[in-house]
Structure formats: C-alpha cells, structure tokens
C-alpha cells in the first residue's frame, strides 16, 4: 500500500535585537560566562516590570509581512504558566490570543535532486507570534546547572499549516526561512547555536484516505540534516506500525543523532493547560495601518524575489541556486540593478564586490589572476584603489604582446611545436611566466599560448 505523509512545523527564531525582549540586558549572551548577562527582571524577581522591545515588534511584524500574513493591529501579550527550573518567573510571556500575524503563505521554488528541474510548493503559515526565550539547563553527571543568560531573548514562533508532504520539503522550507530572516537582518538563524529551532508534527495515512493519521511530534531538531533524517525515520516507523495492524500513538519524541532513531519522550494524551491570561504588566501593542504599510514598503528583497530577478538577468537556475548557497545572490542582483550592461556571468563569478570593481575590470581588462587578487583584497577590507595599487597586473593586451615576443624569440621551439612536438609548449609557457613575473594567471597564459601557436 502507498502512504501519504503530512508534516507541519513549529519554528522558534531568536531575534538579534540589541537588548532582550522585556529588559535592557545585552541580548548577545553567546560566549559569555553563565549568569552574567542577567538582571532582576529576566531573573524573574518579584516587583519588576517588563517593557516591550519596540525593535522586536517591528521585526516580528516585518517577518509576518514577508510571510504574507494578515497583521493584527492589536497585538497582546499573555502569560503562559508552567514550571521549569530554567524559567524563574514560573510563566513565559507569549502571545496566545492576539499574535502578530495569521493566515500567511510562503511559495518556494527550488532545484530538484536531478540538478535540472525547478520545483515549487506552497506552505500556509498559521500564525507568527512573539515571546521570550527561557534559560538553559545543563545536565552534568551528578547535577543540573542552570544558565539564565538566554532568559528573555526575543523569540519569534512561526507555526505552519500541515502542508508539507516530504522530509525534503521540510528541509527546503527551513532553509528558505533561514535565508529570509538573514536577508532581513533580524536573526543570525544559526541552527547549531539554537537561534533557529524546529519541532515537526508528522502523520501518515494510506493514500486516498481523507482523514489524517495520528500525529507525532519530534522535538528540538537542531540541524537541517537531523530534521530530514528524523522525518524519514518517523515516516518509516509509522508505516511499519500501520502495516503490522498496530495503532500509532500520539506522543512527543526526540531525535537521537547517535543511533539515528527517534525516542519516545512523553505521551500526549491530555494536553497541558497553560492557563493563559492577558499579561497584566504590559499594555497591548497597537499599530496603525500607516505604520504597517511603511514597514511593508521597507522590506528587503526576499529570497524568492532574488531568484526571480537573477533569472531575469539571464542567470541559469542552477547557477542561481549555487550563488544562493554561497549567500551571494543579493550582491549579484544589486550589481546588475546598478548597471544592467554588466556581463551577468562575470558578475556571478565575483558577486561580493561593488560597481567600481566591475568598472575597473571593464576598463582595464586585467588578467583573471589580477581580478582574483583584487577581489580577495577588497573582501578582506582593503579599498579598491589600494588593492589595485598592491597588485602587479597586466592587461590581456599586454599579455598577448608579451607572448608574441616570447614566440618570436624562440622560433626554434615554435618550429618544433609545429612539427608535432607538442610537449614543448611547457617551455614556452615557462618563458612567458618568467617575463610576466606572476602577474598573469597560469591558465590564461596556457590558453593564450596554445591559441597563438595554432594561429
Ligand atoms: Zn535582564
């Protein structure tokens, strides 16, 4: 029998604001000693009063706009009550009743495994809301230690509709989301560092059956690879249960990357009652239509838009995907938009440069070795004019005349080459290299010498 799998994701993204969500603590607690980036507020001391981070509201709303959500002009914080050692207040400030945005969708195109076919799928976005992160529990051999540095870091929670049909699509959705928040500059979105965390809900059902199967939640998948592996494993596990006449139990599972298996953590029979109620210490966030519209206008180019524009500039889709993988698509599009007479293929080779760099290439026709040197220098912070001064560079024209001189000075070698002794080309290339003293690219010399020899 064939089976259909249904996947929905819940994603937590840390916002890279300067201060935390409700206090003025530094939000960059990474690599700091435990419990040093804290204050009475994020430590949950009684009598403290939170203040909402304006930047977090703006960024959360912008991401919701980028995901096509309907924005709630009235957003309110609620208390989510539960006890855990790394949550000193005994509740988390979240948004339950009035989130930032709802009912969005994200259309994603991607290159299929065959490296040729362009595929597309759409994922509905149920909601996006803001909340605060909890601290970290560190389980040592004989004790559990708590680090509160992460307490109060702004978090954006994104919940998708169960529109994802394969582990591959789940991974591609997460990669697209990572690109999106990075391009917008709102999160570092490094999965290994926990800036971007994902829980996946997954169920399988026989193909053609309308009613969804029982869903299992796999928690805390901290890399794209584990997400894909865990979902593949879960699909197989659930199918095996159904094939043997069993019943899939609704539960929460974790992924063990050492054994490549998912492990049951708790059954989900009665859902936890978090006793949500409006946060009495915070006024609601009230936005105006005009404010939201100006943020919408302000949105940076999003990943899909970048891909579309790159294709319009005549870059092949596999090359677009390749540049995207190197985080170089924005640089490419910006340059092409500045001067559409530039050669897109050349720009795609050196996308992390500015217009002046290309104008230098077009005017001076430097060798590829020189371009490489200057490109490396400007990407390590050297000014273009200084980088050009630093290199010894000769133009294609100069290289050609140098080679012509070498060929006329070594008429005997040229004659041998003509007589079929092709190996002698190495000697001629060596002569050119001596004369150009490393200012020309060896491959380019080789190409040009063989071309001039066959003329
Ligand atoms: Zn604080």
Q: What is the pLDDT of residues 13-47, one digit of tens each?
A: 999 999 999 999 999 988 899 999 999 999 999 99
Residues 6+ apart with CB under 8 A from 256: 262, 263
H helices then E strands: how many in the chain?
A: 15, 16
Boundary-marking domain end, from 294, 329, 354: 294
- For residue 30, how far is its CA from the centre of ligand 1 (angstroms)? 15
Structural domain span for residue 442: 396-453
In tens, the pLDDT along 384-436 reads: 988 887 776 678 888 999 999 999 999 999 999 999 998 999 999 999 988 88
Same domain, 279 and 402: no
- For residue 27, how far is its CA from the centre of ligand 1 (angstroms)? 9
- For residue 34, how far is its CA from the centre of ligand 1 (angstroms)? 13
Q: Residue 438: pLDDT band by 50, 70, 90 thresholds? A: low
pTM to 2 decimals?
A: 0.82
- For residue 24, how far is its CA from the centre of ligand 1 (angstroms)? 6
Which residue in this structure is represented by tokens 């509905």?
124
Q: How many CB atoms lie within 10 A of CB 431?
A: 20
Same domain, 40 and 167: yes
- For residue 149, how far is its CA from the centre of ligand 1 (angstroms)? 8
User: Both tokens of residue 96?
Assistant: 């339950």
- For residue 150, how far is its CA from the centre of ligand 1 (angstroms)? 9
Boundary-marking domain end, from 294, 322, 342: 294
- For residue 281, how far is its CA from the centre of ligand 1 (angstroms)? 16
User: Both tokens of residue 36?
Assistant: 């040093």
Boundary-marking domain end, from 264, 294, 324: 294
User: Both tokens of residue 308?
Assistant: 């579309």
Terminus-to-terminus CA distance in the chain, angstroms?
Answer: 67
The dihedral region occupied by 78, where left means phi > 0, alpha psi between -120 and 50, and beta the remainder, is beta
- For residue 316, how far is its CA from the centre of ligand 1 (angstroms)? 49
Question: How far, in Å, CA of 312 to CA of 329, rounded?
Answer: 13
- For residue 80, how far is its CA from the centre of ligand 1 (angstroms)? 19
HEC string for 167-180: HHHHHHHHHHHHHH
Same domain, 137 and 270: yes
Question: How far, in Å, CA of 38 to CA of 41, rounded?
Answer: 8
Q: Is the pLDDT of residue 90 over 70?
A: yes
Q: How many domains does the chain contain in total?
A: 2
Tell which residue, 95, 83, 96, has the closest CA to residue 44: 83
Same domain, 55 and 182: yes
In tens, the pLDDT along 315-346 reads: 999 999 999 998 889 989 988 998 888 888 88
- For residue 79, how far is its CA from the centre of ligand 1 (angstroms)? 18
Beta strand 216-221 pairing with 251-256: parallel
Same domain, 282 and 431: no
- For residue 40, how far is its CA from the centre of ligand 1 (angstroms)? 6
H/E stretch holding 143 reads none
In tens, the pLDDT along 190-227 reads: 999 999 999 999 999 999 999 999 999 999 898 999 99
Does residue 136 contact residue 150 with C-beta atoms inside 8 Å?
Answer: yes
H/E stretch holding 221 reads strand 216-221
| Higher per-residue pLDDT: 454 or 309 | 309
Residue 352 domain flag = no
- For residue 90, how far is its CA from the centre of ligand 1 (angstroms)? 16
Phi–psi pair at 135, nearest 5 degrees: -75, -165
**What are the E-state strand segments in 207-307?**
216-221, 251-256, 261-267, 277-278, 285-286
- For residue 416, how far is its CA from the centre of ligand 1 (angstroms)? 80
- For residue 39, how far is its CA from the centre of ligand 1 (angstroms)? 4
Residues 6+ apart with CB under 8 A from 317: 111, 118, 307, 311
User: Residue 436's domain is classified under what CATH number?
Assistant: 1.10.10.410
- For residue 151, how far is its CA from the centre of ligand 1 (angstroms)? 8
């Amino acid at each position: 029998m064939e089976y259909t799998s249904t996947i929905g994701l819940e994603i937590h993204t840390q916002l890279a604001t300067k201060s935390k969500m409700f206090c003025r603590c530094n939000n960059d607690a990474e690599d700091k000693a435990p419990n040093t980036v804290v204050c009475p507020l994020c430590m949950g001391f009684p009598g403290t009063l939170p203040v909402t981070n304006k930047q977090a509201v703006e960024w959360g709303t912008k991401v919701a706009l980028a995901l096509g959500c309907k924005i709630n002009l009235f957003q309110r914080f609620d208390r989510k009550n539960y006890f855990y050692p790394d949550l000193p207040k005994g509740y988390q400030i979240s948004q339950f009743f009035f989130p930032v945005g709802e009912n969005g969708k994200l259309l994603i195109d991607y290159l299929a495994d065959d490296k040729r076919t362009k595929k597309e799928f759409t994922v509905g976005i149920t909601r996006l809301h803001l909340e605060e992160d909890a601290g970290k529990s560190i389980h040592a051999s004989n004790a559990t230690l708590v680090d509160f540095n992460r307490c109060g870091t702004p978090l954006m929670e994104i919940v998708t509709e169960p529109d994802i049909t394969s582990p591959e699509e789940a991974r591609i959705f997460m990669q697209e989301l990572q690109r999106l928040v990075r391009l917008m500059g709102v999160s570092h979105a490094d999965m290994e560092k926990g800036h971007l965390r994902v829980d996946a809900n997954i169920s399988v059902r026989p193909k053609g059956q309308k009613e969804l199967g029982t869903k299992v939640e796999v928690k805390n998948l901290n890399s794209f690879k584990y997400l894909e592996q865990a979902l593949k494993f879960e699909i197989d596990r659930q199918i095996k249960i159904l094939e043997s006449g069993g019943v899939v139990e609704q539960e929460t599972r974790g992924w063990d990357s050492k054994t490549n298996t998912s492990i049951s953590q708790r059954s989900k029979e009665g859902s936890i009652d978090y006793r949500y109620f409006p946060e009495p210490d915070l006024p609601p966030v009230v936005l105006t239509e005009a404010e939201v519209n100006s943020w919408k206008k302000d949105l940076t180019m999003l990943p899909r838009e970048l891909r579309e524009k790159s294709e319009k500039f005549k870059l092949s889709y596999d090359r677009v995907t390749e540049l995207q993988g190197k985080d170089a698509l924005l640089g490419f599009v910006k340059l092409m938009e500045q001067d559409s007479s530039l050669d897109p293929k050349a720009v795609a080779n050196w996308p992390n440069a500015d217009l002046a760099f290309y104008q230098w290439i077009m005017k001076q026709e430097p060798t590829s070795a020189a371009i490489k040197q200057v490109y490396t220098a400007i990407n390590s912070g050297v000014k273009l004019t200084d980088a050009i001064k630093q290199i010894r560079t000769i133009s294609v024209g100069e290289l050609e005349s140098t080679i012509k001189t070498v060929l006329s000075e070594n008429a005997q070698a040229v004659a041998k080459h003509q007589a079929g002794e092709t190996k002698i080309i190495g000697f001629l290339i060596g002569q050119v290299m001596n004369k150009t003293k490393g200012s020309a690219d060896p491959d380019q010399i080789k190409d040009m010498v063989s071309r001039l020899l066959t003329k």
